[in-house]
C-alpha cells in the first residue's frame, strides 16, 4: 500500500524548488500549478511503469465480452486472459482466440474461436495509469518511486519557470540588473538535471525495441483450432 498523498508530493516538489514562501507574490509557482505538474509527472510515469490490474469479468455466452471496469481508454492494454480460473497450471487464452472489437457502445473483447460459456469468470490482467490521491490508500504510485516521480515533477516545474523568465523583457535601465535570459538558462539546466535523475531512478532508457515478436505456437493439437502442419481436414 502507498503511503504518500497529493499533498505529500506537492510539498516535496516545493521543498526541492525552495519555493515554500507563504506569500503568494513571492512564490515562483502557486500550489495549483504544482499540483498540475505533479499530475503530469504521474501520467508520464504511468507510461514508463504502468500499473498492472487483475479483474474478473463475467462472460455472457455471446461473441463479445465487456472490458474491465477500470479500463483506461487509449491507455490500457491486455496482458493476459485466464479462463477457466483456479486451474493448475493456470489456463491462459491464446492470443489468437480473441481480439479487440469496436462496437457502437464502446470497445469490447470479441472471441474469434470459442465463445466463453455464460456465467464463466474471465480474469483480465491489464495495464492502467498511476496517480497520487488525497488519500494514501488510493494512491497508485509505489513508495519506492515516490521521490523519482517528484523529481520528474520538479523538472516540469523548472521548465515552466524557465519559460516564465524567457518571456520576461530584458532590462532597459542600468538600475535593473536582472538578466532574465540567464535565469531562463539556469532553470532549463535544472529541468534537464532532474529529469535525468528520474530516468536513472526508474531506469528509463532510449534503447529502441527490437522489430520482432515471439508467438507461442501450441504443440498439442485441439479439434477447435487450426495448425500449420495439423489442419482439421488432415486429422
Cα–Cα distances in angstroms (integers) from residue 215 to residues 52, 78, 100, 122, 232, in the given order: 22, 16, 18, 22, 21
Residue 228 resides in a domain: no
Range of the domain at 19: 6-49+131-202
Cα–Cα distances in angstroms (integers) from residue 210 to residues 40, 41, 140, in the given order: 28, 27, 30
In a shared domain, residues 44 and 84: no
In a shared domain, residues 42 and 137: yes
Residue 195 resides in a domain: yes
Residue 74 resides in a domain: yes
For residue 220, pLDDT beyond 60:
no
Round to the nearest angstrom and report the end-to-end CA distance of the chain.
53
CA dihedral for 107, 78, 124, 224, sign (positive or negative):
positive
- DSSP letters for 63-126: SEEEPPTT--TTT--EEEEE-SSS-SS--BPPGGGEEEEEETTEEEEEESSSPPPTT-EEEEEE
pLDDT of residue 114: 86
The residue out of 73, 106, 129 marking a domain boundary is 129
pLDDT of residue 128: 97
Look at the chain and report how many structural domains it folds into.
2
Residue 221 resides in a domain: no
In a shared domain, residues 188 and 150: yes
Residue 66 resides in a domain: yes
H/E stretch holding 158 reads: helix 146-166
In a shared domain, residues 80 and 176: no
76-126 per-position pLDDT tens digit? 999 999 999 999 999 999 999 999 999 999 999 999 988 999 999 999 999
18-56 per-position pLDDT tens digit? 998 878 778 899 999 999 999 999 999 999 999 999 999
In a shared domain, residues 41 and 27: yes
- Asked if residue 137 lies in contact with residue 94, where contact means CB atoms within 8 angstroms, the answer is no
Q: Cα 155 to chain center, whole Å? A: 18
In a shared domain, residues 158 and 196: yes
In a shared domain, residues 94 and 149: no
Residue 94 resides in a domain: yes
State the pTM of this model.
0.81
In a shared domain, residues 40 and 135: yes
In a shared domain, residues 40 and 12: yes
For 203: left if phi > 0, alpha if psi spans -120 to 50, otherwise beta; the answer is left
Please list, residue by residue across 165-179, b when 16 or more beta carbons sit within 10 angstroms of its beta carbon and e when fewer do: beeeeeeeeeeeeee
Amino acid at each position: 500500500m502507498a503511503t504518500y498523498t497529493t499533498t505529500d508530493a506537492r510539498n516535496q516538489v516545493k521543498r526541492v524548488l525552495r519555493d515554500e514562501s507563504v506569500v503568494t507574490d513571492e512564490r515562483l509557482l502557486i500550489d495549483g500549478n504544482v499540483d498540475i505538474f505533479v499530475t503530469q509527472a504521474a501520467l508520464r510515469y504511468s507510461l514508463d511503469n504502468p500499473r498492472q490490474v487483475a479483474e474478473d469479468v463475467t462472460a455472457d455466452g455471446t461473441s463479445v465480452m465487456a472490458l474491465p471496469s477500470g479500463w483506461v481508454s487509449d491507455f490500457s492494454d491486455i496482458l493476459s486472459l485466464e479462463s477457466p480460473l483456479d486451474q493448475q497450471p493456470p489456463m491462459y487464452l491464446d492470443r489468437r482466440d480473441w481480439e479487440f472489437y469496436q462496437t457502437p457502445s464502446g470497445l469490447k473483447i470479441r472471441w474469434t474461436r470459442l465463445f466463453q460459456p455464460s456465467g464463466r469468470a474471465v480474469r483480465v490482467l491489464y495495464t492502467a495509469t498511476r496517480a497520487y490521491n488525497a488519500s494514501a490508500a488510493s494512491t497508485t504510485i509505489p513508495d519506492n518511486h515516490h521521490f523519482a516521480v517528484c523529481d520528474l515533477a520538479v523538472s516540469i516545474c523548472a521548465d515552466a519557470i524557465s519559460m516564465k523568465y524567457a518571456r520576461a523583457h530584458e532590462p532597459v535601465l542600468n538600475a535593473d540588473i536582472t538578466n532574465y535570459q540567464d535565469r531562463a538558462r539556469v532553470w532549463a539546466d535544472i529541468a534537464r538535471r532532474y529529469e535525468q535523475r528520474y530516468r536513472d531512478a526508474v531506469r528509463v532508457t532510449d534503447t529502441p525495441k527490437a522489430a520482432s515478436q515471439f508467438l507461442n505456437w501450441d504443440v498439442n493439437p485441439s479439434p477447435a483450432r487450426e495448425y500449420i502442419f495439423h489442419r482439421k481436414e488432415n486429422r
